[in-house]
Structure 1
Amino acid sequence: MLVVCSGLCAQDKWVSGTVVDNLSRQPIPSATIRVASNGRTVVGASNGGFRLLVADRQDSLAVTATGYLPMILAVPDTGLVMVELSPRKDAMDEVVVTGTLRAVQRSASPVPVEVYSPQFFKKNPTPTLFDALQLVNGVRPQLNCNVCNTGDIHINGMEGPYTMVLIDGMPIVSSLSTVYGLQGIPASLIEKVEVVKGPASSLYGSEAIGGLINVITRNPRKAPVFAADVSTTSWLEHNIDLGLRYSLGKKVHALAGMNYFNFTHRFDKNGDNFTDITLQNRLSVFNKLSWNRQKDRQAALAFRLVGEDRWGGEMQWTREFRGGDSIYGEQIGTRRFELLGNYQLPTTEKLIFSYSYNYHRQRSAYGNTLYNADQSVGFAQITWDKPWSGKHNLLAGAAIRYTYYDDNTPATLDGNGKDNRPDKVAIPGIFLQQETSIHGRHNLLLGARLDHDPRHGFIFTPRFALKLAVSDKDQLRVNAGSGFRVVNLFTEDHAALTGAREVVLVGALEPERSYNLNLNYSRKFSWAGGFLHLDAAAWYTYFTNRIIPDYTTDPNKIIYQNLDGSSVSRGVSIQADASFVNRLKVTLGGNLQDVMINSKDDQGNRVAERQLLTESWSATWTVSYSFGKSGWGLDYTGNVYGPMLLPLLSDLDPRDGRSPVWSLQNIQVNRKFSNGMEWYGGIKNLFDFTPDRGNPFLIARAHDPFDKQVQYDANGTVLATPENPYALTFDPNYVYAPNQGRRLFVGFRYIIGRN
Structure 2
Amino acid sequence: MKTLFMWAFIAILLLICSLSVVAQTASIRGRVISEGDPVPLVNISLASTGLVTSTDSAGFYELTGVQAGSYKVQASAVGFKKMAKMTFLKAGESLRLDFDLSNFQNDLNEVVVTGTLKEVNRLESPVPVEVYTPAFFRKNPTPSIFDALQNVNGVRPQLNCNICNTGDIHINGLEGPYTMILIDGMPIVSSLSTVYGLSGIPNSLVEQIEIVKGPASSLYGSEAVGGLINIITKKPQNAPLFSADIFGTTYAEFNADLGLKTKVGKATALTGVNYYKFGNVVDHNHDHFTDVTLQDRISVFQKWNLQRKENRLFTLAGRYLYEDRWGGETNWNKSYRGGDQVYGESIYTKRWELIGNYQLPVKEKIFFAFSYNNHDQDSRYGDKSYIATQKVGFGQLTWDKKIKAHDFLIGTALRYTYYDDNTAATELNNPAKNIWLPGIFVQDEISLSPNHTVLAGIRYDYNSLHGNIMTPRAAYKWKLNEQNILRLNAGTGFRVVNIFTEDHAALTGAREVVIATKLKPEKTYNVNLNFLRKMYANDGTYFGIETSAFYTYFNNRIIGDFDTDPNKIIYDNLDGYAVSKGLTANFDMALNNGLKLVIGATYQDVATFEHGIKKQQILTEKFSGNWAVSYRLKALDLGIDYTGNLYSPMRLPLLGPLDPRKEFSPVWSIQNIQFTYTGFECFELYAGIKNLLNWTPNRGNPFIIAGSNDPFDKQVIYDEYGKVKPTENNPYGLTFDPNYVFGPNQNIRGFFGIRYTIK
Q: What TM-score results when the alignment is normalised by the length of structure 2?
A: 0.88
Q: Which residue, 106, 112, 127 being the options, matches 2:122? A: 106
Quote how far apart the aligned CAs of 1:50 are: 10
CA deviations on 1:448-476 (whole Å, 9 max, x unpaired) are: 11111122111111111111012232111
1:3–1:82 contact (8 Å) kept in structure 2? no
Match of 2:545 in 1: 534
SS at match of 2:109: coil
Distance in 2, Cα, partners of 1:675 & 1:575 = 34
SS at match of 1:639: strand
Q: Which amino acid aligns with 1:576?
A: F
SS at match of 2:204: helix
1:598 aligns with 2:609: yes
Q: Which amino acid aligns with 1:703?
A: N
Give the aligned CA root-mean-square deviation in angstroms. 2.9
Q: Which residue, 315, 318, 325 being the options, matches 1:303? A: 318
**Distance 1:704-1:226 versus aligned 2 partners, 3 A rule:** same
Quote how far apart the aligned CAs of 1:30 are: 7.4
Quote how far apart the aligned CAs of 1:650 are: 0.1
Distance in 2, Cα, partners of 1:345 & 1:31 = 33
Show the 5 A alignment for 1:438-477.
438-477=448-487
Show the 5 A alignment for 1:220-619.
220-249=236-265, 251-389=266-404, 391-413=405-427, 423-491=433-501, 493=503, 496=507, 498=509, 506-507=517-518, 509-529=519-539, 530-549=541-560, 560-600=571-611, 606-619=612-625
SS at match of 1:221: helix
Distance in 1, Cα, partners of 2:383 & 2:502 = 15
SS at match of 2:559: coil
Match of 1:721 in 2: 727
Q: Which residue, 672, 675, 685 being the options, matches 1:669? A: 675
SS at match of 2:581: strand
2:500–2:507 contact (8 Å) kept in structure 1? no
Match of 1:59 in 2: none
1:193 aligns with 2:209: yes
Between structures 1 and 2, the one with greater helix share: 2
Quote how far apart the aligned CAs of 1:156 are: 0.4
Distance in 2, Cα, partners of 1:319 & 1:221 = 44
Flag the structure with larger Rg: 2
Distance in 2, Cα, partners of 1:637 & 1:558 = 37
Match of 1:734 in 2: 740
Task: Out of 590-599 and 523-532, give the one that drifted further.
Answer: 523-532
Quote how far apart the aligned CAs of 1:89 are: 8.3
**Distance 1:485-1:163 versus aligned 2 partners, 3 A rule:** same
Q: Which amino acid aligns with 2:294?
A: L
SS at match of 2:146: helix
Distance in 2, Cα, partners of 1:574 & 1:611 = 22
Distance in 2, Cα, partners of 1:624 & 1:535 = 20
Distance in 2, Cα, partners of 1:554 & 1:674 = 61
Q: Which amino acid aligns with 1:93?
A: N
CA deviations on 1:368-401 (whole Å, 9 max, x unpaired) are: 0011111100000010000111x22000100011
Match of 2:21 in 1: none
Distance in 2, Cα, partners of 1:697 & 1:583 = 45
2:567–2:655 contact (8 Å) kept in structure 1? no
Distance in 1, Cα, partners of 2:402 & 2:193 = 38
Show the 5 A alignment for 1:591-740.
591-600=602-611, 606-740=612-746
Quote how far apart the aligned CAs of 1:437 are: 1.4
SS at match of 1:357: strand
Q: Which amino acid aligns with 1:578?
A: M
Distance in 2, Cα, partners of 1:454 & 1:743 = 50
**Distance 1:421-1:510 versus aligned 2 partners, 3 A rule:** closer
Bigger relative contact order (CA 8 A; separation at least 6): 1
Distance in 1, Cα, partners of 2:565 & 2:37 = 63
Q: How many pairs are equivalent? A: 702
SS at match of 1:177: helix
**Distance 1:684-1:146 versus aligned 2 partners, 3 A rule:** same
Q: Which amino acid aligns with 2:79?
A: T
**Distance 1:551-1:628 versus aligned 2 partners, 3 A rule:** closer
Quote how far apart the aligned CAs of 1:664 are: 0.4
1:135 aligns with 2:145: no
SS at match of 1:125: coil
**Distance 1:159-1:463 versus aligned 2 partners, 3 A rule:** same
Match of 1:66 in 2: 79
Task: Out of 706-715 and 109-118, give the one that drifted further.
Answer: 706-715
1:173 aligns with 2:164: no
1:218 aligns with 2:228: no
Unaligned runs of 5+ in 1: 6-16, 34-41, 52-61, 72-77, 601-605
Quote how far apart the aligned CAs of 1:121 are: 0.1
Quote how far apart the aligned CAs of 1:631 are: 1.7
**Distance 1:50-1:152 versus aligned 2 partners, 3 A rule:** farther
CA deviations on 1:524-549 (whole Å, 9 max, x unpaired) are: 12224401111011111111111235
Distance in 1, Cα, partners of 2:214 & 2:686 = 36
Task: Out of 427-436 and 547-556, give the one that drifted further.
Answer: 547-556
Quote how far apart the aligned CAs of 1:188 are: 1.1
Quote how far apart the aligned CAs of 1:572 are: 0.6
SS at match of 1:432: strand
Q: Which amino acid aligns with 2:133?
A: S
Match of 1:36 in 2: none
Distance in 1, Cα, partners of 2:513 & 2:552 = 34
Task: Out of 90-99 and 536-545, give the one that drifted further.
Answer: 90-99
1:67–1:94 contact (8 Å) kept in structure 2? no
Unaligned runs of 5+ in 2: 1-25, 44-53, 63-74, 85-93
Distance in 2, Cα, partners of 1:82 & 1:199 = 45
Q: Which amino acid aligns with 1:205?
A: G
Q: What TM-score results when the alignment is normalised by the length of structure 1?
A: 0.88
